[in-house]
Amino acid sequence: MTEEATWRVYALDSMTHLSTLSPDWCFCRRAAVRQQRLGSSYHSSHAPFFVSVDTPNLLRPPLVDGPLNATASLMRAARFSRLLLFAWGWLVASAQPVRVALGHRASRARRRAESASAPLVQGYGTHFAYLWVGTPPQRVSVIVDTGSSITAFPCTGCAGCGSHTDPYFQLTSSASLTEFHCAQGRDCDLAVEQVRCAHGQCVLGQRYAEGSSWAAQQVRDVVWIGAEEGAEANANLAINFTFACQTSETGLFISQLADGIMGMMRRGSNLAIQLKDQGKIDAKGFSLCFRSGGGFMTLGGTDASHHVTPMQYASDRIENGWYTVQVLEIRVGGAKVEIGNEVYNEGKGIIVDSGTTDTYLPRKCAAHFEKAWLEATGSTYSVRMLRLSEDEMLQLPVVSFTLQGAAGGPGVVVEMAPEDYMEAQTESTYVSRLYLNEPMGGVLGANFMRNHDVHFDLDNGRVGFAKSACIQPE
């Protein structure tokens, strides 16, 4: 049997009430970590080391259609607590579709790409991509997180940083690496906020809600996003990119499968916007297409060739920071959740966050959601383990979300099929990963995005959704 525990940390200024904070100042997320006797599962809630809390990814086993093996069962992590973000530069995305090429040196890049896609691998509930870094190139795996703002991974000498998919990045092996040497921070890359000068180096760090942390040195090198094997294709996408070279880690972050994190929040240090700024792609935008077991990412826009339905665009309410949509209504099967839409959109609002494994709705709507579920199914809604056959699970209702359309357009309906919100524990048991306990607002996590191509269109302030099998086009 597993035990689910929940931590909540509010790292707020003593003069600031949670409900008054804008998305630029606060992430409110809860970290739920299931444990068994043989070990504990994942959590990596990142926070600025010098100020407060930003939380990357709570990791858990993949959403699967069959039984999980014992190891995967141990590694479930429901989600991240995100708290106060005083510190980081928030990453933005850029560009028109660019089919990702693996390059060697930034100096080789001569032509502008039109589209770039890269495969995504499913980790413990989150998806990660492969970066190729340095000269000669070294492979690094990074969780793709639209809810955080910095790219970071362990480098040689990182103290207690655990074992991941790849060896630690070796600084001394890269002929193209630049270390920042500073005097009072004046020579650091300030696209990442709160970096500081210490002993002539630009340093930064993050602390996690449950106590884990990492510290890092700021460096710059040639970076491109590519495939799992080989580093020769699409050298035209290699750019000079600043990242955090981790020197220490503590806590559960040590256990994650991927080496590090790639924040895709809307801030200038985002890899996608850097590709646009350095002339590699033409438009600010990227898309993520998640499926069970993998998926792919498109930089510079979206590739409609794999869409099952046309892309529909919801309005992105916030110009800088999180990707925030407005929920107009939710239906369980045909039964409407009878509550005013202002309840969904209070506080930080509803954010689309690829770094959160599950989906969370405000607790104010819980009784109304449960009533709609009872009407649709004749049974009581529960997030406890249910004994169901696969056929019975697939007969559960679709949960549909109507979002405010972009530019005054019609509402956008995004459906969560039962196989998206129900997670298999064994061949005959399932657990719902749609929670009704967020204090204010909500999080549409990776399971909400599943089987959709989600386009983060920064040029036009909108987030698009198209149904897809999320198999990368040839």
Find the helix or strand (DSSP H, E) in which 36 lies: strand 31-36
243 contacts 75 by C-beta, under 8 angstroms:
no
pLDDT in 10s for each residue of the chain, 474 residues: 212 222 222 222 222 233 333 333 333 333 333 222 222 233 333 333 333 333 333 333 333 333 333 333 333 333 333 333 333 333 333 333 443 332 333 444 344 556 688 999 998 878 999 999 999 999 999 999 998 888 999 999 998 899 999 999 999 999 999 998 888 667 888 777 678 899 899 999 877 544 667 899 999 999 999 989 877 766 778 999 999 999 998 876 788 899 999 999 998 888 999 999 999 988 889 999 999 999 999 999 999 999 999 999 999 998 888 999 999 999 999 999 999 999 999 999 999 999 888 999 999 999 999 999 999 999 999 999 999 999 999 999 999 999 999 998 999 999 999 999 999 999 999 999 999 999 999 999 999 999 999 999 998 999 999 999 999 887
Backbone torsion region of residue 234, taken as left when φ is above 0, otherwise alpha when ψ lies between -120 and 50, otherwise beta: left
Backbone torsion region of residue 123, taken as left when φ is above 0, otherwise alpha when ψ lies between -120 and 50, otherwise beta: beta
pTM above 0.85, yes or no: no
- Of 55, 450, 122, 432, nearest to 265 by C-alpha is 55
Burial of residue 146 (number of CB atoms within 10 Å: 0-12, 13-18, 19+): buried
74 contacts 46 by C-beta, under 8 angstroms:
no
Q: How far apart are CA 306 and CA 407, in angstroms?
A: 25
Reply yes or no: is the peptide bond before residue 136 cis, omega within 30 of 0.
yes
Q: Give the strands of the sheet with 399-403, arranged side by side.
A: 335-336, 327-332, 399-403, 412-416
Rg (CA), the chain: 21
Q: Give the strands of the sheet with 386-387, arranged side by side.
A: 386-387, 429-432, 422-426
- Please, which residues bridge with residue 430 across strands? 386, 424
464 C-beta neighbours (distance < 10 Å), count: 24
